Amino acid sequence: MLELLTEKFSGTLSKLRKARKLTDKVVNDALRDIRLALLEADVDYEVTKRFLKRVRERALSSEVKRNLSPAEQVITIVYEELVNILGKEKEDLKKGTVLFVGLQGTGKTTTIGKLAHLLKKKGFKVAVSSTDIRRPAAMLQLEKLAEKVGVPYYSFSEGLSAVEIAKEAVKRAKEEGVDYLLLDTAGRLHVDEELMEELERIKEEVKPSEIIYVADAMQGQTALETARTFHERLGLTGVVLTKMDGDARGGLALSVRETLGVPIKFIGVGEKIEDLEPFYPDRVAQRILGLGDLQSLVERAQEVIPEDKAQHLSTKVMAGDFDLEDLREMLRMIQNMGPLDKLLSMIPGIGAQMKNIKVDEKQFKRIEAIINSMTPEERRNPRIINMSRKKRIARGSGTSVSEVNKVLKRYEEMRKMMRKLKGMAGMPMPRFPFKF
């Protein structure tokens, strides 16, 4: 996500570290590189122009803190201005009827299913319905997603118009005390008058708390122009960007708020039902600058790792009593947190280097298979594993004795490292010794 911007910004800022003072030339050279990076990332031209003007004025003004290096000064200013154009703060979804609009093929229906899952997980009462009477397959898709998530899908008898379906769905949601009614609408391959008039009638009838435009992040300025048309006719209150995991540029994400005045509320980061995240401007700005996203990484860990398991493992590590069963548990926890490349991109300094890092998640499976092929006694006391046992473990895991030796060696390195840290206050996280 946003790899191009991260790479370009990191290169520009590394040049700044050589400068001793923020002169006009130093600032102009940096801004020239940033300008090229933004335009190459398909950021709106006017947004780029205003952004650079604000950064230049601040970089050369008296507000600059003299105790910071030139690179730190520019990073601070660029970061703050990135946060500003991204929306300043995360904006929550207002309760009530949430109307989803957009063109066909942007992932609108799937996004509704993902959002229903996210809201339900947070404890809200959610229901979904569809007014797309032209595409029965779209209605069926949403119904299946609702069933998968475990929320009600409001279906109605054939013959009702889109406006009538919307009206009945809102009535039923109020009767059932629903917090969020997520209402899907028809899409087109392009904007047409019939579509816009139907959406206007639905808006007038149900008076939604939110009108959310769903856009494909990879479409860049094309999606921005379409969003502008929807905003002029309907008055959008938010945007969801889908396929952000495949968007290396980020032009649309950096243009929406500044151009339309409409906040990005969620981003789609994968195909799974849980791959929808709230949009945090400050965290995205940090990732663009190669500063990582440790807040999201910690939250991801808290979601998938039970507190009692984390505490138990931490206690064993602190006591220097870390065995292969604990290593297996750690591997499973890491895998449950999601794709390893996504996790690595959240770590400061790694985002810009992701294209140079080969992530082999199969290595996790092979290590776990080797540990699973051991007896409970061998996992608790690896010292008893002699050559005959290694051969048996290799056969059972479909690996080789050499791979078994590597796992045992790296486990021993990890155990020694943890013992060295034993008793230290505020023990830092040890480097994971396995290569991916």
At residue 17, the pLDDT reads 73
**Cα Rg of the chain, angstroms:** 26
Correct CATH for 297-421 of 3.40.640.10, 3.30.420.40, 1.20.1740.10, 1.10.260.30: 1.10.260.30
pTM exceeding the 0.85 threshold for the entire prediction: no
Helix, strand or coil for residue 279? coil
DSSP notation for 328-372: HHHHHHHHHT--HHHHHHTSTTTGGGGGG----THHHHHHHHHHH
pLDDT at 305: 64
C-alpha–C-alpha distance, residues 143 and 134, integer Å: 16
Architecture of domain 96-293: 3-Layer(aba) Sandwich (3.40)
The per-residue pLDDT for 253 is 85
State the first-to-last Cα distance of the chain, in angstroms, to the nearest integer. 20
In the numeric block, the tokens 């050279």 are attached to 29
Residue 102: which of 93, 112, 92, 94 has the closest Cα?
112
The whole-number pLDDT of residue 117 equals 96
Please give the CATH architecture assigned to the domain spanning 3-86: Up-down Bundle (1.20)
Residues of the chain scoring pLDDT < 50: 350, 423-436
Domain boundaries of the chain, sorted by first residue: 3-86, 96-293, 297-421
